[in-house]
């Protein structure tokens, strides 16, 4: 069934803002190495970043009608997360839509599908993440749904889930786990900063991460001057 849900519950804005500046890798690690969209979904221009609650859209491949409608329902800071069927050969988003999104204060767009006008997006500083970029534009005559659970980039996304995106890709934080994930991510970020201090003094990652014990447990053979030694 095609349906438009006009309202949904957004997460605490303070929690959303607190994810700003935390790398996606740290956030994913804080969820047990989960939540990452597939590698193909990347920023369409360099150094684009997004943090904000998801407003979900399911649209027919090669069609942007539901995306235009979704923009009218968005609040400042929202992120459009679009399931366009993963179709790479017709763009469903361009810089005119991007300009409208920017005017209305949206934080960015993530598309399981294609975008176009990458230079135009960069010129206005509007973050877009997509599977592909190409010139061919969309139709605007097919139905879809707004603010329903969708799949995007191989990850389940519900309205209000927190989207964190940077040069590495996109991570989805379930809204009901956001506080716990944020706490773990902040702790991990602080730990990484401490480790960088040790690395700056010349220590090796092998030592600071205590990987010698892993090799011993695995029984890895190490050779010295042609002679075999076994860890442990």
Assess whether 163 and 202 both reside in one domain.
no
Show the beta-strand stretches assigned E in the chain: 42-43, 50-59, 79-83, 108-115, 128-133, 144-146, 150-152, 155-157, 162-166, 169-173, 221-224, 227-230
pLDDT at 33 over 90: yes
Q: Mean pLDDT for the chain?
A: 96
Give every CB contact of residue 202 below 8 A, 6+ residues apart in sequence.
none
Per DSSP, what are the bridge partners of residue 144? 59
CB atoms within 10 A of CB 95: 20
Question: Could you tell me where the DSSP H helices lie in 95-177?
Answer: 95-103, 118-124
Assess whether 175 and 199 both reside in one domain.
no
Assess whether 203 and 176 both reside in one domain.
no
Assess whether 23 and 94 both reside in one domain.
yes
Structure confidence at residue 225 as a pLDDT band (50, 70, 90): confident
Structure confidence at residue 222 as a pLDDT band (50, 70, 90): confident
Rounded-to-integer distance, Cα 175 and Cα 54, Å: 10
Centroid of chain to Cα 1: 27
- pLDDT for the residue 159: 99
pLDDT at 232 over 60: no
Assess whether 68 and 126 both reside in one domain.
yes
**Residue 73: HSE in the Cβ half-sphere, 13 Å Cα cutoff:** 19
Which of 186, 61, 46 has its CA nearest to residue 123? Answer: 46
- pLDDT for the residue 145: 98
Assess whether 125 and 201 both reside in one domain.
no
Pairing of strands 128-133, 162-166: unpaired
Provide the domain limits for residue 94.
Answer: 13-185
Does 227 or 221 have the greater pLDDT score?
221
Assess whether 61 and 167 both reside in one domain.
yes
User: pTM for the complete prediction?
Assistant: 0.93
């Amino acid at each position: 069934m095609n349906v438009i849900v006009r309202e949904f519950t957004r997460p605490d804005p303070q929690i959303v803002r607190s994810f700003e500046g935390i790398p996606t890798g740290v956030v994913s690690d804080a969820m047990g190495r989960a939540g990452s969209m597939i590698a193909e979904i990347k920023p369409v221009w360099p150094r684009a970043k997004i943090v904000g609650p998801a407003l979900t859209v399911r649209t027919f491949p090669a069609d942007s009608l539901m995306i235009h409608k979704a923009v009218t329902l968005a609040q400042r800071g929202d992120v459009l997360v679009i399931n366009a069927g993963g179709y790479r050969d017709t763009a469903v988003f361009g810089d005119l839509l991007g300009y409208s999104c920017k005017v209305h204060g949206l934080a960015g767009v993530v598309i399981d599908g294609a975008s176009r006008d990458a230079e135009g997006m960069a010129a206005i500083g509007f973050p877009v993440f997509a599977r592909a970029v190409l010139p061919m534009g969309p139709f605007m005559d097919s139905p879809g749904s707004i603010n329903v659970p969708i799949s995007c980039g191989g990850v389940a996304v519900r309205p209000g889930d927190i989207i964190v995106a940077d040069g590495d890709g996109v991570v989805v934080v379930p809204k009901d786990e956001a506080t716990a994930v944020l706490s773990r991510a902040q702790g991990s970020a602080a730990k990484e900063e401490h480790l960088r201090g040790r690395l700056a003094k010349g220590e090796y990652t092998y030592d600071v991460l205590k990987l010698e014990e892993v090799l011993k447990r695995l029984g890895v053979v190490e050779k010295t001057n042609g002679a075999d030694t076994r860890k442990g």
